[in-house]
Structure 1
Amino acid sequence: MSDQHELARVEADPIADPGLPAHLPRPTDVDERAEKRAERQVSLFFGLSALCTLAFCVSYFVFQVGDEPDVILGFGASNLTMGLFLGLALLLIGIGTIQWARKLMADTEIVEYRHAASSSDEDKEETLAALRLGTEESGIARRPLIRNSLLGSVLLLGAPAVIMLRDLGPLPGDKLTTTVWKRGMRVVQDVSGTPIRPQDMEVGQLVNGEPAVFFEDDEEGEPKYEGIELQVEKAKAAVIVVRMQPDDIKPWPGRENWGVDGILCYSKICTHVGCPISLWEQQTHHLLCPCHQSTFDLADNGKVIFGPAARHLPQLPLAVDGEGYLIATSDFTEAVGPSFWERNNDEPGA
């Protein structure tokens, strides 16, 4: 062999053959019936995976949970069957993929030499050609049975995810945007439940308040709210009532009648992360949150003047009933609490 031919051989194959055995064809390479049988087997694994996913969904609705759960072999039937079927669904997809690779995809050895970090255009074209070749050799384009069963089993795996997300709890509905406040409901002191008269408040005074409904009974003489429901509603409806000189108040348009003789009412929940706030500085009309020092100007519609809070304090419109007590004229016109979601608020300064 000439030196030129030897050099060409070394450049084309710089590493000597390590002694790989000769390639032996698999039964599926030479027997069409074996190939079809393997294709059906792989599709069967994918199909069984889809059935297991459906069984997971059925188990969620069939078996009882809670105080008297259904039991299988001493375990909660719901958790046992859901875990079993979801595990089998994933396992069968893995087994089907492995069998597909072992029996039907090309199994010839491929040599790839290392190159510089930046590939040439020729190398890039060669890589794309190799990817196209791999796709062709996998047979996914010409094996619709395998392709469709794989896609079906994988897409169905979204169903358990939806069910498990739904199982986190009931949807909130309008609970995030409403409280128990409504037109005509009295504002009372939060401990004693005593109704508040405007003449009983001094200029500069702050009173922690809540709706009178928490101290009322229903038609059968039972409390309208009890237990966890009472605590949840109290946390959302808690307010502070402050009195200042009417001339110091700068209401936004449409809020001119939201106060009574310089008395204003705001949500007690900080709009940063929901801490209760009532640190009142009567000379500046500022309300300070003790958690992260967000500061709100209550004379200027609860506007944020310092700190991480991104939204003003919601204000509750007030009036006086026939007996001279402070009442709400509506619920809050915006959601109370932390700014955990985006709001489109038309109020100035929102």
Structure 2
Amino acid sequence: MTSKQHTAEHGTQLEQVNGFTNPGLPEHTPRLTDISPAAERTTERQIAGWFILSMIGTIWFIVSYFLFAPDETMASIQLQNMMFGLGATLALFGIGVGLVLWGKTLVSGTEVAEDRHPIEGNEEDQAVALEILNQAKDESGIARRPLLRNTLIAAVAIAPLPAILVFRDLGPLPGDKMFTTLWGPGVRLCQDPGGVPREDRFIRAEDVTIGSAVHVIPEGMHESEHPLDEKAKAAVLLMRIDPKELNTDPAKEDWGVDGIVAYSKICTHVGCPVALYEHQTHHLLCPCHQSTFDVTNHCEVIFGPAKRPLPQLPIAVDSEGYLVAQRDFPEPVGPTFWEINTRETSEQ
């Protein structure tokens, strides 16, 4: 059925129902690439250039992984991330622009109107579907444009390669590393940020007011071999709540000091820093995926994807009035992993 027949057949019905006449399809205006073989070849080379640019971006991502290998300084990490971003942007942008340009300039742009047929699985419909696929192949020109086809296939084929490097950086299984931190008996709580711990950075219990929240790290962290790695495990959020509002587990009754409690700052979902404290509701919020923890109930999960509470750090007061850890966290900090119950099972 032609577009004119379609318009003639349905125009009256539309006028009776909606009060206006179907204007039909607009007259087709050929594009420059439709009438000029030279313009068509130029456009084809331009599209292939975008696909080649995508391949360059992918290769640059891989090169950046080795060329800008970071040390433990933040500047080197930021530089590598910037190079990663540049490579990934070129890789994805090149494919996207190339495909859009292909569709806008080389794929047939003739407007058509077709009646919708019932969806059935008979042989006739299968033949029609196959005919449509063959028509799409002919209109896109993918079969007769080997330059575009091959550069597109190459760009898409190598685009996932950076993911291999990213997965490689996940490193080995954590083993026992997540079971221990720098916290231990008598280790003082030190304000963070504060540079190298010194006397005026240690926290006295009497100075922690109700409703306050303090980011703390263990004393001596900066003297460790890998301070950033240790901070990623040992970061703690210290809060003080009216003891009457705490629903304390009898087994953990001596883990706090007059309403002062300390919990791991590392979310048990994917390890983001839990740094948002709402002192009226006593809720801790992870800004990454909105996991919410109730401090009054040992930081149990009340919303979001996290599956277990934040580990609590048992604290006490030393002879000079400073807050100190009683011992390390009783359970692994951070996201749940396959071996999280290995130590507990072996101890039993």
Normalised TM-score (structure 2)? 0.47
Structure with more of its chain in helix, by fraction:
2
Structure whose alpha-carbon radius of gyration is higher: 1
Normalised TM-score (structure 1)? 0.46
